[in-house]
Amino acid sequence: QVQLVESGGGLVQTGGSLRLSCVASGRTSSAYAMAWFRQAPGKEREFVAASTWSGESTYSGDAVKGRFNISRVNAKNTVYLQMNSLRPEDTAIYYCAQALTVIPGTSPRDYDYWGQGTQVTVSS
């Protein structure tokens, strides 16, 4: 059993910053790939970023490159998403996900466990 709990969402202004956190518990492993996805109303779930154990981001979605950064603190079983230069189009529910593989993917189908999501709203 693996549980993922996101936090840190909220309402921010255009150009602002926000850091999301995801804490994993249960029978998890720091070796597994973890990722962030987001989903806006009426839109498909979109890949944001993924990380391996080393904390390296092997891939970031085109819409967030240069603005968002994923990182991990394995001792705390925590993955972060630092979001900078936020735009209204970043408004979405953000989900933390964990795979059962060490190789990260970019599709929601590559991940087995999901958090409940945290709402991020960027006002203009």
User: Per-residue pLDDT tens for 13-66?
Assistant: 999 999 999 999 987 777 789 999 999 999 999 999 999 866 665 689 999 999
Percent of the chain scoring above 90 in pLDDT = 75
pLDDT at 113: 95
Angle at 120 between CA 108 and CA 78, to 5 degrees: 60
